[in-house]
Amino acid sequence: MGNWLENTWYVASWDAGIDSVPVAHTICGIPMVFYRKLDRSVVAMRDACPHRMLPLSKGIREGDSIRCAYHGLKIGPDGVAQEMPLKNEAVNTRICAETFVTHERYRFVWVWIGDKEKADPSLIPDLWPCEAEGWTFDGGRYHVACDYRLMIDNLMDLTHETYVHANSIGQEEILEAPIECVVEDNAVFIRRWMPGVEAPPFWAAALKQHGVVDRWQICQFNLPSSVMIDVGVAPPGSGATIEDHDRQGVRGMVIDFMTPETEETHHYFWGMARNFETDDAGFTARFKAQQGQVFGEDKEVLEAQQEAIRKNPGMRLNAYSIDQGGVRARQLINRAIKAQAAEEQVL
């Protein structure tokens, strides 16, 4: 087991990222191949032919099955051999490729890592803004060459916006506003309320007015590796507060899922659900590009950080008051991994 939790759902892809052509992704150290059957449901299996281990992602689709491109072993979507390399040879159905449970929701393809008998779709996180009436949702994906926990640290400490995203969403007031950290069960919340601050460029455009606004940021980490950030601005005096802001101004929910690939790489699925300009497809496309640029800045910083960690093995990360969200999130992850390991030892 790596530094990630098992017996849980991870985002494997956006819905548009998997089609009839096999595609390879490594999830939690497991090489997998994904493709859609003729009924559009998603197949996920270990990306290694059980014969000579050529990746099945290099194989040939035949109906709902896949034929290995090395010797021609044909594997069904259930992972069981259907045809042997020698055409007259009886099929040995004990030859199987490992398969994984998948589910589609909120425009994501989810894959269950762990005991398949425990795969319960009701355990998929509640991403209500991604399908609620009056909201719209879109986003993208980056492959990031860093430990997924570094991205969680980044998203739970938004003081970095002042420097990393100075030209879009960052402002000095982020450094001046007090933060509140709350731990509830398997979640960590970081809350920041910034009344009477100058609207940064993006939020001024969203609210369609320049000048002073009341601004909020509420970061929520949930196991195994997601961060949702409730953000927005409202005109001063509109009645918005950190507790009651859902009917004031403009609001977005930044959706972040970090799916571990290896110990030092991960798949970063990002997006934003919003309750403004919901019918403007052009705005959605432009905003997705802008958001991608912002997260690209994070990617550059975090990959440099991972490289520095690799080059300085005698050093360790230090935590200041601004890091309490990431620290608490890591504590939840570590406790959950240890509890799972102890349970497996008992079994």
The residue among 81, 104, 121 that closes a domain is 121
Q: Is residue 1 part of a domain?
A: no
Residues 126-138: what's their mean pLDDT? Answer: 95
> Is 336 in the same domain as 247?
yes
> Is 78 in the same domain as 209?
no
> What residue ranges in the chain does DSSP mark as E strands?
8-14, 23-27, 30-36, 42-46, 60-62, 65-67, 74-75, 81-83, 102-105, 108-113, 136-144, 179-184, 187-198, 212-222, 226-234, 250-262, 265-274
C-alpha pair distances (Å), 245 with each of 63, 95, 184: 51, 57, 21
Give the model's confidence band at 316: pLDDT under 50 very low, under 70 low, under 90 confident, else very high: very high
Token representation of residue 220: 């929520």
The confidence score (pLDDT) of residue 160 equals: 72
Which residues on adjacent β-strands are paired with residue 219? 190, 229
Token representation of residue 308: 């520095």
Number of folded domains that form the chain: 2
Write out pLDDT tens, residues 333-343: 999 999 998 88
CATH number assigned to the domain comprising residue 309: 3.90.380.10
Q: Is residue 345 part of a domain?
A: no
> Is 258 in the same domain as 141?
yes
> Is 110 in the same domain as 179?
no
> Is 114 in the same domain as 197?
no
The confidence score (pLDDT) of residue 290 equals: 86
> Is 299 in the same domain as 165?
yes
> Is 107 in the same domain as 167?
no
Q: Is residue 262 part of a domain?
A: yes
Is 170 a residue whose pLDDT tops 60?
no
CATH number assigned to the domain comprising residue 105: 2.102.10.10
pTM of the model as a whole: 0.93
> Is 66 in the same domain as 151?
no
The confidence score (pLDDT) of residue 209 equals: 83
Instruction: Domain of residue 62: give its range.
Output: 8-121
Q: Is residue 242 part of a domain?
A: yes
Is 305 a residue whose pLDDT tops 90?
yes
> Is 333 in the same domain as 217?
yes
> Is 36 in the same domain as 91?
yes
The residue among 95, 121, 147 that closes a domain is 121
Q: Is residue 2 part of a domain?
A: no
> Is 86 in the same domain as 59?
yes
CA distance 307 to 151: 14
Q: Is residue 50 part of a domain?
A: yes
For β-strands 23-27 and 187-198, DSSP reports them as: unpaired
> Is 251 in the same domain as 111?
no
Write out pLDDT tens, residues 73-126: 999 999 999 999 998 899 999 999 999 999 999 999 999 999 999 999 999 999
Sheet with strand 30-36: strands edge to edge: 23-27, 30-36, 42-46
The residue among 99, 121, 143 that closes a domain is 121
Angle at 258 between CA 104 and CA 18, to 5 degrees: 35
High-pLDDT (> 90) share of the chain, %? 71
Q: Is residue 3 part of a domain?
A: no
For β-strands 30-36 and 81-83, DSSP reports them as: unpaired
